Chains A and B, each alone.
Chain A
C-alpha cells in the first residue's frame, strides 16, 4: 500500500515569503507528526495531531509556524514570513493510533531552502 507522501519534495523561497508543506499520511492512521531536521542533526518534534486536533504543538518554534489537519487525514504545515534559519528538511510521520508502542512511518520529507 501507499506510504506517507509529502509535497513538494523541494521548495525554494525568498526570505519573508509564505510557504505551505503538505503531508498525506497512510490511510486510516489517526496520528500524525511533523518533525524538522536541520543539517547534521536528528529530527526534532514540531507538532502532533490526533485526528483533527493538535494534541501537542509544543515543538513549534514560534508563532510563524502553524499546522492544520481539518479532516483528520491530510495535514498542512504553514510558515509565515520565512527566515533563512527555517531552512531544513520537514518530515511528516503517521501511526495507526498514536500509542507509544506504535510504529511511526515517515515520509521522504520536504527540503525547504530560504534564500
Chain B
C-alpha cells in the first residue's frame, strides 16, 4: 500500500520570504503526484501535478515542485510568498498499477502555511 508523509504540520513564514513544504511518499509501484491547496471555507484546488517527463513541475500562483525518485520526495516551493498564500496544502499520490488503474488519491496529513506581514 502507498502512503504519503508531510513532514511539517505547520509552517509560519513572513511575506516575500521563500517557502518549502515537504512531502515524502512510499509505494511499491510507480505513482503520480499532486499538490492541492485548501483555502478557508473552500474546496480543494489542484496546484500542480507530476505525471511524467521533467521532474520540475510548475503550477498555479507561482508554485513549483520537484519529483525526486531516489528520495521518494515531491517538495513544494515558492520563491516569494504572499499573504494570500495562507492556506492548507495537501500532497497526494495515485498509484499506477496498470490495467484498470483509476485516480484514487492517497493524501498526506496536510501542512498549514501561515504567511505573516
**Chain A interface residues (CB < 8 Å from chain B):** 3-4, 31, 33, 35, 40-45, 48, 50, 55-56, 91, 93, 95, 98-109
Give A115 Cβ to nearest chain B Cβ, in Å. Answer: 22
Closest 7 CB pairs of A and B: A42-B107, A106-B44, A106-B43, A108-B43, A98-B102, A43-B107, A100-B94
**Chain B interface residues (CB < 8 Å from chain A):** 4, 6, 32, 36, 41-46, 49, 51, 90, 92, 94-96, 101-110
Task: Given A31-B102, A42-B6, A106-B43, output 13 extra A-B contacts at Cβ < 8 Å.
Answer: A31-B103, A42-B92, A45-B104, A45-B106, A55-B102, A91-B43, A100-B32, A100-B101, A100-B102, A102-B103, A106-B36, A106-B45, A108-B41
Nearest chain-A residue to B41 (Cβ)?
A108
Known A-B contacts A42-B107, A42-B109; A48 and B102 likewise in contact (beta carbons under 8 Å): yes
Known A-B contacts A43-B105, A95-B103; A107 and B90 likewise in contact (beta carbons under 8 Å): no
Nearest chain-B residue to A109 (Cβ)?
B43
**Set of chain A residues within 8 Å of B95, measured between Cβ atoms:** 100
Nearest chain-B residue to A58 (Cβ)?
B104
**Set of chain B residues within 8 Å of A102, measured between Cβ atoms:** 103
Nearest chain-B residue to A56 (Cβ)?
B104
**Set of chain A residues within 8 Å of B108, measured between Cβ atoms:** 42
Are B104 and A48 neighbours in the complex by a CB distance under 8 Å?
yes
Total residue contacts A-B, CB cutoff 8 A: 69
Are B44 and A91 neighbours in the complex by a CB distance under 8 Å?
yes
Nearest chain-A residue to B94 (Cβ)?
A100
Are B43 and A107 neighbours in the complex by a CB distance under 8 Å?
yes
Q: List 19 A-B contacts (CB under 8 A).
A: A3-B43, A4-B43, A31-B102, A33-B103, A33-B104, A33-B105, A35-B107, A42-B6, A42-B107, A43-B90, A48-B102, A55-B102, A100-B95, A100-B102, A101-B51, A104-B46, A106-B36, A106-B43, A106-B45
Are A44 and B107 neighbours in the complex by a CB distance under 8 Å?
yes
Could you tell me the distance between the alpha carbons of A44 and B1 in the complex, rounded to whole angstroms? 14
Are B96 and A100 neighbours in the complex by a CB distance under 8 Å?
yes
